[in-house]
Chains A and B, each alone.
Chain A
Amino acid sequence: MNILGISCFYHDSAACLIKDGKIVAGSEEERFSRKKHDTGFPFNAIKYCLKEGEIDVDEIDYIAFYEKPLLKFERILSSHLETFPKSFRAFVGSMPSWLNEKLRVPSIIRKKLKYKGEIIFVEHHEAHAGSTFLVSPFNEAAILTIDGVGEWTTTSTGFGKGNDISIKKEIHFPHSLGLLYSTVTAYLGFRVNNDEYKVMGLASYGEPKYVKNFRKIIDVKKDGSFRLNMDYFVYHHKMRMPSEKFVKEFGPMRKKGGEITQRHKDIAASLQRIVEETIFQILRNLHKETKCDNLCMAGGVALNSVSNGKILDNTPFKNVFIQPASSDAGGSLGAAMYLYNSILGNKREYIMEDIYLGPGFNTDEIRSFLKGNNIKFKEFKDDNKLLKKAADLIHKNNIVGFYQGRMEWGPRALGNRSILANPCNPEMKDVVNKRVKHREPFRPFAPVVTYEDYMDYFEAKTQVPFMLFVYPVRKNKRKLIPAVTHVDGTGRLQTIRKDWNPRYYQIIKEFEKLSGVPVLLNTSFNIRGEPIVCTPEDAYRCMMGTGIDYMVIDRFLVAREDNPKDKWTSWEGN
């Protein structure tokens, strides 16, 4: 049975194909369209999924959509009715996209894909729940989904057993931890639905001095349920988020690109504290109700890796699984899995152990690309020699793009579309920032560590294959890996086992032979503001447009200095 899952028309459009309950392919549309967080119909991602699955549109048994558009529209209309006449501008601004796209999902799907089969609409938080529990290693688990908003639901808790998911309780719009986080993101001068992780990174530099102020805004009950005081928000009737009262409470908003002061850092730290406290309160109650030690989480807030890293210490749960594409992109996967397992009652057939579900290019295709574009490269017959050479280049403080196999599913680059650098060099964070990523200086870079060694370097409770948990770097190791140790002594690590990604693992091991440290700095293969590279051409253009020194692409090594800088450039130092 072939099921195509689709999520689109809000943010992070994506498609995912499952065949008899197993994921064959999945990708975000942004990787093809090159528009970050692309909201449009994921036509390219669908085309890719069908090609990877070797099927035509007429072989799809069902298409599963990740939300119920009319329920969402009911919420939008309710907001306008409640807040009339303050919502006039938001109404005029949002209605065209509702009338042209969001209310016409079935006809758009049928027209764009020439599809004649069944279309199934799974509720947004059911899709989130399906995206995590149904691909988790657990037969039974408590489930928490938590994001900005779906149709009405912003938070839900439930229980999964076998192929069944039962959502028991919900918090409804406008009360939302995700929207609270987004409001502060907007207040601090960052982009909503894009920069929330920057606020999380900034929080480490601050003290939670504004927790008392936040307690006026959010009322959290003993049972974990919460309510926002809507006097502090205007997102339910305006195209912006914090209200005048919010600004009075916390001081003037930071303008985009403005100076980041200690006050901003303290506000970020206070928000992070409040969000963590609320999540842990929900989880403690969820554990009490389900009496289950396994937890599955999904939704945008489940990408808060700082909070995730504290779950085992602050709640009774013993095992946590979070699906890497936890935000709306994962809704496509969740809708498809929920349909196959929970609605149609099929047995679960899949556990997500790796996330290399995107497009891949074989050696011949890459060779042909390199030759076809007159790119100077060196081909290595012996892969060990190539990986040794790459490790040596990294050890000598070069920045190396690492491109191989199929692209990652979700927002993290986990070794197939990565930029690797020397974590032992204290300057390396600034070097990578200046030459490649152009990020805000307060943002940390992440470490990747071999599975056997992660306990030696990090106070980690579990292995972290998908880079979704932040743990403290052990005190005696912090000086060894300064480029990946955040200001508060933590790191958002990825642990890698040889059988998950042998070449990625081996390059770390080769680096260890040279440095004595089984850790590398790993950041996504892209520049700020662009999606992660997808094709060899994207990767080459990214290298030539930035200060990446070398690129290991499949069996080939490409040096930036050997090639003319005739492609677009984003690095002034070129």
Chain B
Amino acid sequence: MEKIKSFLKGFGKGFKKFGEGVSNVVNFVLLTFVYFIGIGITSLFAKIFGKKFLDMKEGEKSYWKNKEGEKELKDYKKMF
């Protein structure tokens, strides 16, 4: 009985590792697709139209950004 239990435990662990491995491969393939198609194409168009996603310009008078106005309770219920 103990041997069966130990075998099943080991089998379970191995299967879990196998599952994680498969999941990593699937993740990698899907994310590669999303990155090059989704991010890549958007980034390409943004570059063509001169859109900047991060503000990296230097030499401005001040780098402070003014904070937007008041918020209400309902604004805090959102994740954005």
Contacts and interface: CB of A to CB of B under 8 A. Distances in A.
Interface of A: 68-71, 74, 77-82, 84-85, 88, 91-92, 95-96, 105-106, 118-122, 156, 158, 167-175, 219, 221, 223, 225-227, 229-230, 236, 339, 343-344
Contact of B43 (A71, A81, A122, A171): A81
Given A68-B78, A78-B54, A230-B56, A170 B62 contact: no
A81 B62 CA distance: 25
A170 B67 contact: yes
B35 A172 contact: no
B32 A92 contact: yes
Contact of B62 (A88, A96, A225, A339): A225
Contact of A84 (B39, B52, B58): B39
Q: Please indicate which of the listed interface residues B52, B56, B76 has the most CB atoms of chain A within 10 Å of its own CB.
A: B76
Given A91-B39, A170-B67, A119 B58 contact: no
B27 A156 contact: no
Given A84-B40, A92-B35, A95-B31, A175 B63 contact: yes
Given A81-B43, A221-B63, A174 B77 contact: no
A343 B65 contact: no
Interface string B19-52: 0000000011001101110011011101000001
A73 to B, nearest CB: 9
Contacts of A226: 63
A95 B35 CA distance: 10
A557 to B, nearest CB: 44
Interface string B60-80: 111111110000010011111
Contacts of A71: 79-80
Interface residues of B, number: 34
Contacts of A88: 32, 35
Given A78-B53, A121-B76, A121-B78, A225 B28 contact: no
Nearest to A224: B64
A482 B21 CA distance: 55
A344 B73 contact: yes
A105 B77 CA distance: 12
Contact of B79 (A70, A175, A230): A70
Given A120-B76, A171-B64, A171-B65, 7 more contacts: A71-B80, A82-B54, A84-B39, A92-B32, A96-B27, A167-B67, A219-B58
Contacts of B80: 68, 70-71, 74
B67 A82 contact: no
Nearest to A91: B35
B67 to A, nearest CB: 5
B55 interface: yes
B61 A85 contact: no
B69 to A, nearest CB: 10
Contacts of B55: 172
A174 B53 CA distance: 11
A343 B44 CA distance: 41
A122 B40 contact: no
Nearest to B46: A81
B31 A91 contact: yes
B64 to A, nearest CB: 4
Contacts of A225: 62-64
Contacts of A223: 62, 64
A78 B66 CA distance: 20
B76 A92 contact: no
A78 to B, nearest CB: 4
Contacts of B40: 84-85
28 contacts: A68-B78, A68-B80, A70-B78, A70-B80, A79-B54, A82-B43, A82-B52, A82-B54, A84-B35, A85-B36, A85-B40, A88-B35, A92-B27, A92-B31, A95-B27, A95-B31, A121-B76, A121-B78, A122-B76, A167-B67, A169-B64, A170-B67, A172-B65, A175-B63, A223-B62, A225-B63, A227-B60, A230-B56
